[in-house]
C-alpha cells in the first residue's frame, strides 16, 4: 500500500482528481433527484463487486458485475427525462463548476401579504409553521397536500367554497405539506370570549408544541400570532414578517444554510476523493504483475566510418513489473532500448544494459533484462574482390570425374568490415546438390554471404552460373592409354 502511494505518478494524481471531480459534479448536478440515489446504489454495487473480486468470490463478483452493468444501462433508460432536463436547463458553467445554494425558505413576505389580504377580505385562515418539535402526534386529522407554497395556492385553499378551507394548513419550507388540519382546542379559561374555534385551536397547538400559528379572524379581520400558548394580534405587516422570520430562524438560517451547504459540498468532495482513491488502490493492488517484452536495440551516435558488423543479440527480453491495468495497456513500441556508441571502437565492444538504456512507459518498473551484456562488433567498411566456390553437397557417382567447374562470375566484389574481410578468402554459393552432376551440365546458384554483414558491392550479381564438365573414369583411362601409346 505504502509502496503504491510512493509510486503514484503525476498521471495517477490527475486520474484520481479528475474522476473525483466528475463524481463530485454528479452529486452537485443531480442533488435532490432520484438519479443520485440510484447512482449511489450503483457505486455501492461496484464496491461490493471489487471486494468480492479481492476476496476471490468469483461467482459473486461476476453476478454483481452483471447487475452493475445492467443498472448503469437502466439509469439511462429510466431517468432519461431527468438527465435531459439537467443538460438542457443548465448552462455549461453550471454543469462544470457552478453551485446552487438554493434554500427551501418560507417566503415570509408573500405569506404576510396573503395573510393581510385575508384580513382585509375577512377570509378566515389558520397557518401552522412547525418549530423543531414534531406536531404530528398533536394534530388530530389532516389531508396530505405537499404543494408548492404560493399566493394563489393559499387563496385557493382558504376560498370559502374550497372543500379544504376548514382547518389549518401546515407550511414547511416552501411547501404546504398538510391541509384541513384539525387541531386540539385550548382549554385555557383566560382566553377572551370573542376568540373563536380558530384562535382556540391555534393556542391549543402552541400550548403543547413550539410551533407558530397564524390566525386570521373571519369576523374581525384581525391577524394574530400564537406561540408558546400565547396569542397576540399583529397589525403591521413588517412586525408579522419579523416575528415569522424569527420563528423560522431565517435571519440566522441564511448564513447557517450557506455554511451547511458549503460544508456538505466539501464533505461530498472529500468522500468523492476518498472513493476514487480507494478505487484506484483496488485497481492497482495487483502490483506484482510481470510482463515480458522482446525489445529491439537501437544504436545511437555511431562513430563516423565505422559500421555495425554484428551484434550478439538483436532483441533484449525486458521484464516489467506494474499494476495489471497499467501493464495491460503497454504496447511494445512504448519500450525502447538505446545503446550509445559514441565511445565505440573498431572491433568488439561490450555494453551492460542497465535501466539507463531503457525507456519505459510511466507506471511500470524494470524487473529483469536478458541478456544483460551486449557485444557490438564495429568495423571500417572496405571492398574486397573474392573468388567464388561452389558448396557441393550430397553424393556423386564414383564412376565419373569432374574435370572442370567454371563459375560466372568467378570473382565478386563485396563490402564488409575490414577485420571481417581479412579472414575471408572465398565466397561460397548456396548448397548445390552434386547428384545433378552426371554429365556436362549448367547449374545456377546464388551467393551465400556469410557473415550477414557482408554486402555485394554495387553492380555485383548474386546469381552464379556454374558450368561443369564430366568424364567417365573408363574414358579417362582410355585417353591416357592412347596418349602413352601414341
Q: Using CB under 8 A, list all residues that contact other proteins.
A: 387, 389-398, 401-405, 423-426, 428, 434, 437, 473, 476
In the complex, the smallest distance separating the C-beta of residue 307 from other proteins, rounded to whole angstroms, is 22
In the complex, the smallest distance separating the C-beta of residue 376 from other proteins, rounded to whole angstroms, is 24
In the complex, the smallest distance separating the C-beta of residue 390 from other proteins, rounded to whole angstroms, is 7
Residue closer to other proteins, measured from CB, 274 or 387 = 387
Q: Could you tell me if 197 and 181 are in contact, meaning their C-beta atoms sit under 8 angstroms apart?
A: no
Residue closer to other proteins, measured from CB, 148 or 398 = 398
Residue closer to other proteins, measured from CB, 360 or 470 = 470
In the complex, the smallest distance separating the C-beta of residue 447 from other proteins, rounded to whole angstroms, is 13
In the complex, the smallest distance separating the C-beta of residue 312 from other proteins, rounded to whole angstroms, is 22
Residue closer to other proteins, measured from CB, 313 or 401 = 401
- Cα–Cα dist 249/218, whole Å: 29
Q: Return the beta strands (E) in 72-201 as ranges.
A: 125-129, 141-148, 168-172, 175-182
Give the strands of the sheet with 364-370, arranged side by side: 358-359, 336-340, 289-300, 315-322, 364-370
Residue closer to other proteins, measured from CB, 226 or 429 = 429
Give the closest residue to 427 by CA, choosing from 458, 449, 443, 455.
Answer: 449
Q: Could you tell me if 256 and 235 are in contact, meaning their C-beta atoms sit under 8 angstroms apart?
A: no
Maximum CA extent, the chain: 174
In the complex, the smallest distance separating the C-beta of residue 416 from other proteins, rounded to whole angstroms, is 14
Amino acid at each position: 500500500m505504502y509502496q503504491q502511494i510512493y509510486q503514484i505518478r503525476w498521471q495517477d494524481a490527475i486520474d484520481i482528481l479528475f474522476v473525483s471531480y466528475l463524481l463530485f459534479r454528479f452529486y452537485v448536478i443531480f442533488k435532490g433527484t432520484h438519479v443520485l440515489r440510484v447512482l449511489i446504489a450503483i457505486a455501492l454495487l461496484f464496491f461490493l463487486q471489487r471486494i468480492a473480486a479481492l476476496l476471490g468470490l468469483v461467482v459473486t463478483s461476476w453476478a454483481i458485475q452483471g447487475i452493475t452493468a445492467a443498472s448503469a444501462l437502466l439509469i439511462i433508460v429510466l431517468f432519461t427525462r431527468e438527465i435531459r432536463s439537467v443538460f438542457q436547463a443548465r448552462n455549461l458553467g453550471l454543469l462544470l463548476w457552478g453551485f446552487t445554494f438554493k434554500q427551501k425558505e418560507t417566503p415570509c413576505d408573500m405569506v404576510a401579504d396573503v395573510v393581510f389580504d385575508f384580513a382585509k377580505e375577512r377570509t378566515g385562515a389558520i397557518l401552522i409553521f412547525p418549530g423543531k418539535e414534531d406536531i404530528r402526534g398533536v394534530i388530530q386529522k389532516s389531508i396530505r397536500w405537499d404543494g408548492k407554497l404560493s399566493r394563489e395556492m393559499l387563496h385557493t385553499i382558504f376560498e370559502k367554497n374550497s372543500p379544504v378551507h376548514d382547518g389549518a394548513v401546515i407550511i414547511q419550507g416552501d411547501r404546504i405539506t398538510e391541509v384541513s388540519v384539525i387541531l386540539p382546542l385550548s382549554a385555557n379559561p383566560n382566553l377572551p370570549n370573542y376568540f373563536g374555534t380558530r384562535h382556540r385551536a391555534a393556542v391549543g397547538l402552541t400550548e403543547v408544541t413550539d410551533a407558530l400559528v397564524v390566525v386570521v379572524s373571519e369576523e374581525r379581520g384581525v391577524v394574530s400570532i400564537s406561540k408558546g400558548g400565547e396569542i397576540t394580534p399583529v397589525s403591521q405587516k413588517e412586525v408579522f414578517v419579523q416575528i415569522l422570520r424569527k420563528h423560522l430562524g431565517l435571519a440566522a438560517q441564511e448564513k447557517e444554510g450557506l455554511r451547511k451547504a458549503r460544508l456538505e459540498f466539501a464533505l461530498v468532495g472529500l468522500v468523492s476523493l476518498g472513493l476514487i482513491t480507494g478505487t484506484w488502490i483496488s485497481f492497482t493492488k495487483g502490483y506484482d504483475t510481470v510482463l515480458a517484452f522482446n525489445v529491439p536495440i537501437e544504436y545511437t551516435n555511431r562513430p563516423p566510418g565505422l559500421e555495425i558488423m554484428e551484434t550478439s543479440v538483436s532483441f533484449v527480453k525486458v521484464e516489467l513489473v506494474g499494476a495489471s491495468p497499467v501493464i495491460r495497456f503497454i504496447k511494445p513500441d512504448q519500450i525502447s532500448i538505446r545503446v550509445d556508441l559514441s565511445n565505440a571502437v573498431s572491433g568488439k565492444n561490450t555494453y551492460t544494459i542497465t535501466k539507463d538504456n531503457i525507456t519505459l512507459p510511466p507506471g511500470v518498473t524494470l524487473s529483469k533484462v536478458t541478456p544483460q551484456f551486449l557485444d557490438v562488433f564495429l568495423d571500417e567498411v572496405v571492398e574486397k574482390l573474392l573468388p567464388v566456390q561452389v558448396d557441393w553437397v550430397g553424393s556423386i557417382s564414383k564412376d565419373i570425374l569432374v574435370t572442370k567447374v567454371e563459375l560466372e562470375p568467378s570473382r565478386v566484389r563485396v563490402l564488409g568490415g575490414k577485420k571481417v574481410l581479412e579472414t575471408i578468402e572465398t565466397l561460397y554459393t548456396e548448397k548445390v546438390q552434386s547428384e545433378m552432376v552426371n554429365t556436362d551440365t549448367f547449374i545456377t546458384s546464388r551467393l551465400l554471404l556469410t557473415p550477414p554483414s557482408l554486402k555485394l558491392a554495387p553492380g555485383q550479381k548474386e546469381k552464379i552460373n556454374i558450368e561443369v564438365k564430366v568424364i567417365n573414369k573408363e574414358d579417362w583411362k582410355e585417353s591416357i592409354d592412347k596418349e602413352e601409346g601414341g
